[in-house]
Structures are given as C-alpha cells and as structure tokens.
Structure 1
C-alpha cells in the first residue's frame, strides 16, 4: 500500500493514529561529529512523511509538536524516530517540513526528466543518482558527455517544463504487460503489492517510490552545471532544479558583487585580476622563503660567532617552518650543541625541532613532545613534530638546560 505522502505528494499534514511506540536509538552526525540519540520508533496507521527510498532522502516534520528526526522504511511500514513517546491508539496530527519536501520533489522529478532525455537523445543510461543537499548528480553509463550534449539536454528539458507536461502516478501489478516496459532498477527484495509508476506524459514512465511534482511546470527550470569523471568509465552529470537554481543565481550574484568591490573592476575582468594576484602572491611567497632561509643562516652564524655561546641554543619564531629550523640545525652543527627550535603561535600550536647529540635527543625527544602535547618522531640526532601547547615551551627549556648542566658536570 502506498503511503499518504505518495498518494498526495502535495499534502502537508494528516490526522492519523499511533499503532506502536518502542524505545530506540538513532545515530546522527552534526558538524562531522557522530553521536547516538535516544528516543522512540513510532509506527502510524498512515503518514504524510516520506521514508527514504529511490535515491530520495526522508522527510522531516512533526507529530503534534514533537520533531521527527528520521523516517525509514521497514518492509511495508514507515518508522518515525522521535525524542518523545506516544501512546498507541492516540490520534495525532502529522505535519511535513514543506520546504524540504518540495525541494526533494523538484530534484527527483528533475532527475527523471534529465535521465529520460539523456537516454532518448544520446543513449546515455542512468546507473545511479544522488540527491545532494546543494546539488544533485546523475551517473551516466558513458565515458564522456560533451558540452554540446549537456547543453542540448538542458535546452530540451526546459522546453518540456514550459510546455506544462503533466506528471501522473499509476499503480500496476507485476503481472501487467506494462511492467516489463517501464524503466526500472528493480524492486526491493521485500516489495509486496502493486508497483508505482511515475509517468511524465509522452516522455518517460519509470517505477519509483518517491514524491514528485504533478506537472513539469512546478520544476520551474533545470540548470546543468557541468560534468565530471565518474567511476568505472562513467560520467557524473551535475544539475540543479527549481528553487535551487534561483538560490544558485543569488549566491553567484552576491559573489560577483563582492569580487567587484574587492578587485575594483568589472565582472568580465575578475578572472584576469585573480590570475595576476595569484602570480603576485607566488612571487612574494618565493621572496619570503628566500628571506627566511637567509635569516636562518644569519641566526646560526650569529650564534656560532659568540665566544660564550655555550652548548644550548633555544629560539622561537612565529613566522617559520620546518625548513627554517633544519637550516639552523645544519649550519650550527649539532654534534656537541643541543638545539631547541620552535615556530608558530607562542601559546597554542606550532612546530618544534630538538637537535643535538643523538643519545640526548633519543632520550629526551619523546619527553619534549609530551610536555608540548605534540606528536613527533626522530632519528639521527633530530626529533621533530607538531606541538599543541606551545605555551609550555619554557618548561622544555628548563628541562634541557638541566640536561646540558648534568652533561657538563659529568665531563668535568
């Protein structure tokens, strides 16, 4: 049986009844961090919230005022994960997040339309697709889609949108002769009952469980952004549909205005101006690197010229890198001098190098790393790595000065 959201994709709410409620957990990801949320799996008599399927993500919405965090299909049922429980038998009002739903409808119907004409115009078969958060991707079974071919597909699909072509939903049985004629990637193993057909009148008929517009005019427009190399000799076609096109244009215009202000020239000159800036930056970086190398040599020579230079040298420089520290170590010759060099922020993170007699470096390198809360490794009289607590640099200096003092006393 089709869910209410599939029978009427434009419905935004539904009065229904709770069938069951069981404790459950949901794995979520927020800003790259994964966690587990405790809640309840709710089964309803019917639902206006679409469970994920057919390449389309699930809906979001509310049961009364309780947010629905995930909707999944389990066999013939749609399971709603919510943070609060509901009593079985209770009547509830289910509402859908319409903006998310309509966006998914536009992208999904747009995919059907692009797929149909990629096939009919050039024989490019769709092997998969992804409805992304910002843009969608159709994987085509061809090693190449030319710019001219992509433009022809875009022109044709937008012509169909302007023609207000109806999109109809039909149910057929698996023994219907039409079943073997419609486009499909196969049915789920647990499928039962009639098969749902999305029929773009005169264009395409395809088995699909997703939510779709009822007329191509609701797509507004489709923009093919371009292509990229896919897996196994295939091509990914990147596209936007409906409101995403308008949002993309707005963002592009804002970017254009910002660049015009920053670069002090018109949009037609942006690329040339940025190219010049990049070349200037590369030249400055090269000059800075040469100056840094010269400064490293000068620093080493200054230390070596001191009569009372001692056996320990410590230096921190905010602007620097691993090469800067290693040049100093190479110039000073660390067979009998212990060097502790750091670059980066004085209080937070940076890089460090401990160089000197191999025995001392091997013994105290890990301890220096531990004090600086860093990670590193060493060999042949050098131990270097990244530090996360550069503010503890003074503690390392005290430790190493004691080490040098002990060595001096032993030699005496």
Structure 2
C-alpha cells in the first residue's frame, strides 16, 4: 500500500518514489508509487497535479484502495523518480478546506447545524447545511471565522486509536469504517477528514462568504479563503474601477451611478415606446381603407409594438403584417379581422423560412427570408 506522505506533512512539495505499477488507461496511465505526497480526489476535494520525472500528473485518484497518479506517459515499474506537486493550487485548496472547517464548526456550535455537502472546485467552494440562518447571522459567523483565522491556532491531523476515538467528540458526515483521521483546530473544531490542511489557522488568511442560497431545506454557502479570496477581491475592485470610469463616478459611488443610469434608461425606453406607438398610429392613419393585404417594415420594433401596429392596421385593410429586423432575420406579426390566418401558417413558415403560430386573428413568428420575399409573401399570397 502506498505511504501517504501528506499525512506526515501537508507541506511536502517534492519527493522521490519508486513506481510499483503502471497501467495504460483511457485517460492516460495509472501510475502507482510506493509513497506519495499527491492527494487523491476524495471528500469533495479534487486530486493533486504535478510531475513524476518528466511525466505530467494530470490527476490523482483512488482506484479501490490504491492511489493512482494519472500520467501522460508511462513510467518504468521498479524505477525511482523525483516527483513535484503543483503546490500553489494545492495550498489554495488547503486554505479553503481549513476555512470550511472553521465555518462549519461555528455553524455547528452556534446553531446546531450539520455540514451535509462539500465541494471544493478550481473556481470556488460550496458547502451545505441542514438549517437556515439570516444574513445578519451569517455576517456574525464570518466575523468569528476571521477572528479564529487571525488567532493563528494550531491545526493538527492524527489517527487516534479505536479506544481513543470512542472518547472523542468530533464532527462526521456519517459512520466511518477502519482508521479514522481527525483534523483538529485546538479549541475550535474536531472533524473526521482525509484531506491535507494548513498547519495554523493564520495561513487560511481572509475568510470571505460570497453568498448563500436556500437549498434542499437548508442553505448552500459560497466561500473563498486566502489567496483565492484575495484574487476575488482584486477582480471585484478592478470591475468596480472599470464601472466607475465608464459611468464617470467615484468608485465608492458606483452603486448610485448605476442606479441613476437604470432610471435614465427606463425613462428613455418609456419615451421610445411612446414614440413608436405614435409612429404606429400615424402609419395606420395613412393607410387607405382597402380590401387588400399590406406588409410594412418598422425598424427596432419589439413584438408588443408590432402587435399594437397590426391591431391598428387590421382595422383598415384585409390583412396587415409588420416586420422588424432582429439579428439575421425578422420578427413578424400579422393580423386580420376578416381573413382566418391560421390556415396560412404552413405557407408563411415555408416561404418565409422560419416559424410562426397563433390564431385566426393574429400570427406571430420569426422569419429568415429576405425582406422583399417576406413583403411579397404577405401582399400577394395571403388573401
């Protein structure tokens, strides 16, 4: 069985190991070593990457009881290689995972909630609880978590004996078989966990809860810690700075500036809608009452505005259709008070090269034929 060097120290970045077995697989080669500092995916945390000799390790997984390193090229069985972890992403995961333990401990102590789900991905971390709290309570949890982080408390991982385990009070997601690894933050938390962690809470750095939602009768928290939290903060500041430049307001007033833009846009949309409505009325007024079909193009009209136009137009002619360019096609509405339109749906879809539907009084759809063909279709074939 492979010796787990990450159990000895989570800070081991490189080591020498001998290849026990190397087998070809669909996604590369499954390489088993006599010892490893590569953590295999488990407990919601993804597997480590790095190099063994010149071979890239693209993932580390459990294969039953075996730890296998998925390498891009085969390695020689019985040969000793120097291995190196991609330690930066691994360390970030350690920061996040220890941060999750801190928050989970607080949630359990303050509210009695259990952590019932955990996922630590490349972009962010989510974890679930079987109860609901308020935003104000979540802020209190976050504050306390950061105090614990700043207190630089020791973090210890160990395997207690069976008799010792029976006397320990620790968090666990379920019944465990075999040897149980305990991760303990002195005076804060004790939890069954197989993953590598930082050695002191001060290494976790900032603990930032990005948000939480109601999920399966409880809540799901999104959170980042340490360097991931720092990167997130930098990205948010950069976005805020860009927004402040675009709308010409100080960074600390971007919310007010955006709100002002929204109000201005809403007012502009209202005025534009009123102008389009008046254009539709004028267009309808200039249609001579006729026993024929008419099709007009109205630039930048939405479906509601096209419907309004067609209802007015249908009062003055046999069939009235209106189209407006939308992307690489045309939005279409046609209406009639006297001609049952539904029977023309297939014809419109075929010759208009699109889709439409509706009732005998009105059809709506989207057509991709050229404008000349669409106008000809309505004015010459819909009667």
TM range (shorter): 0.7 to 0.9
1:313 aligns with 2:315: no
- What is the 5 A alignment of 1:255-334? 255-302=239-286, 304-305=287-288, 311-333=292-314
Q: Which runs of 5+ in 1 are unaligned?
A: 25-38, 408-412
Q: 1:249 aligns with which of 233, 239, 242?
A: 233
TM-score normalised by length of structure 1: 0.78
> Please, which moves more after superposition, 283-292 or 315-324?
315-324
Structure 1 distance, partners of 2:348, 2:227, is 58
1:377 aligns with 2:362: no
Native 8 Å contact 1:21 1:43 kept in 2: yes
Alignment partner, residue 239 of structure 1: 223
Q: 2:117 aligns with which of 108, 119, 128?
A: 128
Q: 1:209 aligns with which of 185, 194, 200?
A: 194
Structure 2 distance, partners of 1:18, 1:315, is 77
Deviation at 1:22, TM superposition (A): 3.1
Alignment partner, residue 97 of structure 2: 108
Q: Which runs of 5+ in 2 are unaligned?
A: none
1:160 aligns with 2:162: no
Alignment partner, residue 403 of structure 1: 381
Native 8 Å contact 1:6 1:50 kept in 2: no
Deviation at 1:106, TM superposition (A): 0.6
Structure 2 distance, partners of 1:261, 1:393, is 41
Quickly say closer, same or farther: Cα 1:72–1:294, change in 2 above 3 A.
farther
Deviations 1:335-387 (A, max 9, x none): 974555332346x1442235553265234133145x24xx4433325432234
- Give the superposed CA RMSD: 3.3
Native 8 Å contact 1:145 1:235 kept in 2: no
1:218 aligns with 2:203: yes
Alignment partner, residue 365 of structure 1: 348
> How many positions carry a matched residue from both structures?
377
Structure 2 distance, partners of 1:376, 1:65, is 60
Deviation at 1:231, TM superposition (A): 2.8
Runs of 4+ more than 6 Å apart:
none
Structure 2 distance, partners of 1:41, 1:90, is 16
Alignment partner, residue 21 of structure 2: 19
Deviations 1:103-157 (A, max 9, x none): 111110101111112323443433333335444334333322452x434433333
Quickly say closer, same or farther: Cα 1:325–1:170, change in 2 above 3 A.
same
Native 8 Å contact 2:128 2:219 kept in 1: yes
Deviation at 1:41, TM superposition (A): 4.8
